[in-house]
Amino acid sequence: MEKLKVASLFCGCGGTDVGMMGGFDFLGKHYAKNDVEIVYANDFEKSACNIFEANFGLKPDNRDIREVKTEELPKFDILTGGFPCQSFSIVAQNPKRLGIKDEKGMLFFEMCRILRERKPKCFIAENVKGLLTANKREAFPLIIKEFEDSGYDVKYQVVHAVEFGVPQKRERVIIVGFRKDLNVEFDFPEAVVDSPEKYVPLSKVIDSDVDEKYFFSQKAVDGMMRNRESMNKGRAQNVDEPCNTVGAHLAKVSLNSTDPVLKVDNKYRRFTPREVARIQSFPETFKLTESEHAQYKALGNAIPPVMFWYIMRSVKDSLNSEKKYESITV
């Protein structure tokens, strides 16, 4: 069978792409290859592009997607894109959630532009759960309509990463669309972990011996303790449960933030970049290049590969069951 060709927008360090390609191991389980080839990748963040290139051997296009003409893209069957989520994030505080009124929130229109002009077989889009309620719940229906008006039958679902063997409480809206003329029936994958008692705990992915540089000073701990009750800060994780959502600002995490931290022998510490990679379900073979600050940002912005592997399996099964389609990407 010929490999499905993928154009990956807003690719970041490649969480989507690891999941789509398959052929990796995580926590003792093998995730089979998906017969997928990444033929184009794009991201505006240079350091994330460098991490991507180190792992895939493909140099992402580092331009603003609005500068990319659709005819510049090679032939592809699937368009993916985790369009920037800061505008929709529930935890976004500065600025407040602006949704489609914000410049970054408008970038999903670039996906629609490419869909209209290139007409791939399908697309997969991803964003934070806050997308559903942005702009007083007005943004999401507009986004779905734009995808539908681009020529696609569209389905969406909030997917819980923890239900697919990821040691993290991370919820994401996944939007999948198939070109209308293909008449493809699609169902999202069912959860493979059916009860909280079976969720993968944080203890499976953290190290017992880490450098002292990851520990907070006693002064920082004392300050956090003085404000803990009033500020709801210092969120030390229960290692017997999945981790809370890791974000892009872990490099600057403090005990006066809402980011998850660890408490080890009455000492608080941040996660190492490799631990964040595991929390996100990246395989041990994934190369972490660039500065630690860049690694934290790229990993925190990523899509959990294991979760996306299941999404891709369902997409591939749907395409394989449809015998009538022919690629008309031009």
This model's pTM is above 0.85:
yes
* CATH number assigned to the domain covering 4-196+283-321: 3.40.50.150
What the block records as the tokens of 59 is: 């140099």
Question: Nearest-CA neighbor of 315 among 120, 89, 124?
Answer: 124
Residue 194, judged by CB atoms within 10 A of its CB (0-12, 13-18, 19+), counts as exposed
What amino acid positions are annotated as catalytic residues? 85
Contacts of 110 (CB under 8 A, 6+ apart): 9, 65, 66, 83
What the block records as the tokens of 249 is: 């600002």
Instruction: Report the alpha-carbon distance of residue 37 to residue 20 in Å, rounded.
Output: 9
What the block records as the tokens of 258 is: 């809402």
Contacts of 213 (CB under 8 A, 6+ apart): none
Q: Give me the residue spans of the domains in the chain.
A: 4-196+283-321, 201-279
CATH value of 201-279 in 3.90.120, 2.60.40, 1.20.1060, 1.10.10: 3.90.120
Question: Is 197 in a helix, a strand, or coil?
Answer: helix
Instruction: Give the pLDDT of the chain (330 residues) as one tens digit per residue.
Output: 689 999 999 999 999 999 999 999 999 999 999 999 999 999 999 999 999 999 999 999 999 999 999 999 999 999 999 877 444 444 444 444 444 455 555 788 899 999 999 999 999 999 988 888 877 888 889 899 999 999 999 999 999 999 999 999 999 999 999 999 999 999 999 999 989 999 999 999 999 999 999 998 888 787 777 766 554 555 789 999 999 999 888 877 777 677 899 988 888 999 999 999 999 999 999 999 999 999 999 999 999 999 999 999 999 999 988 644 444 343
Question: Is 117 in a helix, a strand, or coil?
Answer: helix
* Long-range contacts (CB closer than 8 Å, 24 or more residues apart) made by 192-198: 192/163, 192/164, 192/165, 192/310, 193/162, 193/163, 193/164, 193/165, 194/163
